[in-house]
Structure 1
């Protein structure tokens, strides 16, 4: 499974819940979608996405035709499309088939899962950092400052994040937390509550370079884990970069699979 060790009983339980609850229809959110066999085509504002729970049982030719139809559906609209591939998906040569159809892989991330109460217990007392104000935010001005901080961290224009977070917060999908020092936003993170599932997703967590290594990231995890327990969400999950994955695994998260966006961009 993409270089991960063979899963134990706990990982099998988490992976089964992840596949059943977080894939397919649950990824559509409020976006328009349509069904093509085992896959769901999701039409987000900036690009399409293909989601599914399993392609098991399809013949090789059927898989290739399915891939081509999704590519062509969005190309006809002039849109790029992301095929959201997980490392335990079948057929095992699916990445090769996606590449052959013109899809290009972006950065691989590791899917980490943990029991909310376990992480909350492990991090109890770690919800604060000396000299840093950690608080929930609800106003647009604070969210604009978060987007500006993200732009600095990633050296890209992340101003689009403001409207994205404002809209999702207004829909009751997320809670946003900020870390400030002397009024400056130095880090931010948000919890994504997957309604109708047992999962809370942990997103964000980017921190200005000069404030890393001081426990801010862990404090934001601790706050969101405790909140997930209060709200009755059994599991936490993260699509973790290579930078955050080791930190989270030391905190008790377990790698269950990987996720890689394969993207086709029309000429």
Structure 2
């Protein structure tokens, strides 16, 4: 299936709301919103729709949801950062204005990519000396996260927060895989695979490659390894929120851009 509308329906039906917060330590509902809290003092807001009780969302109802969601998090002094995840195809009148007016700052939009896992599960020739493997040892996971933080330009505080969440997830659950590409023992590319329970999907996340190793097929090989693993898990589809580095690679493999997603972030004043 490569019809964008059908893929988007599958994405909306199977991957929105509850499926997005498997690592949350607490979740509350506010109307259609899912308000999740993660380790490290991070809040995360998502939803499958902003409509309520069969009534289409309006500027007034959206503003009220933003008011209520931010009040929920500001009431907890342990929360220092909140992300509101938007999608470009949602009916969300006045959402951008409401978020910005409450101190949320939009990040760069990413492409929501969806397609058959089998399209990615191909043989890719690697440069000499480069190997792709799944890692489970904590030292390997720490090295992987450090490389990703370097590529993404994360602050030390944010990198430590992500590492805390990843290690907790690996210690307490078995529904996430960490994959790396190594050159002579040094991690040069990395990414996660997250099969989504109760769905046909597995997500590929956190794809990062050191600049000097790009353009050599390493990311494609890492993606192919994760796609093969997804198929072993019985998953039909792959989804990814992709930057402009990875989107063209996934498109050439047959995945389809079905929407966009833009994170808006609020930070507590210090």
Q: What is the alpha-carbon root mean square deviation over aligned residues? A: 2.0
For structure 2, the residue ranges without an aligned partner over 5 or more in a row are none
- Work out the CA distance in 2 between the residues paired with 1:85 and 1:104: 12
1:76 equivalent in alignment to 2:70: no
Contact kept in structure 2, 1:113 and 1:235, CA below 8 Å: yes
1:228-262 deviations in whole A, cap 9, x for unaligned?
Answer: 11211011011101221122111211101111111
Contact kept in structure 2, 1:147 and 1:159, CA below 8 Å: no
Contact kept in structure 2, 1:136 and 1:177, CA below 8 Å: yes
- Work out the CA distance in 2 between the residues paired with 1:134 and 1:24: 32
- Runs of 4+ more than 4 Å apart: none
2:128 maps to which residue?
A: 130
Aligned residue pair count: 257
Once the two structures are superposed, the pairs formed by residues 19-38 of structure 1 within 5 Å of their partners are 19-31=12-24, 32-38=26-32
- C-alpha spacing 1:229/1:37, structure 2 compared with 1 (3 Å): same
- Work out the CA distance in 2 between the residues paired with 1:47 and 1:19: 24
Q: So what's the TM-score if we normalise by structure 1?
A: 0.89
- C-alpha spacing 1:134/1:59, structure 2 compared with 1 (3 Å): closer
Q: CA deviation at 1:88?
A: 0.7
Q: So what's the TM-score if we normalise by structure 2?
A: 0.88
Q: SS of 1:40's equivalent? A: strand
The counterpart of 2:245, out of the listed 243, 247, 258, is 243
1:105-164 deviations in whole A, cap 9, x for unaligned?
Answer: 1121111001112322xxx22164432111111111111221232243234433444443
1:111 maps to which residue?
A: 112
The counterpart of 1:40, out of the listed 34, 39, 43, is 34
Contact kept in structure 2, 1:67 and 1:98, CA below 8 Å: yes
The counterpart of 2:140, out of the listed 136, 139, 142, is 142
1:70-104 deviations in whole A, cap 9, x for unaligned?
Answer: 11111121333221110011134321232233322
The counterpart of 2:183, out of the listed 181, 184, 189, is 181
Contact kept in structure 2, 1:75 and 1:265, CA below 8 Å: no
1:202-237 deviations in whole A, cap 9, x for unaligned?
Answer: 112211222111111000011111111121101101
- Work out the CA distance in 2 between the residues paired with 1:160 and 1:263: 15
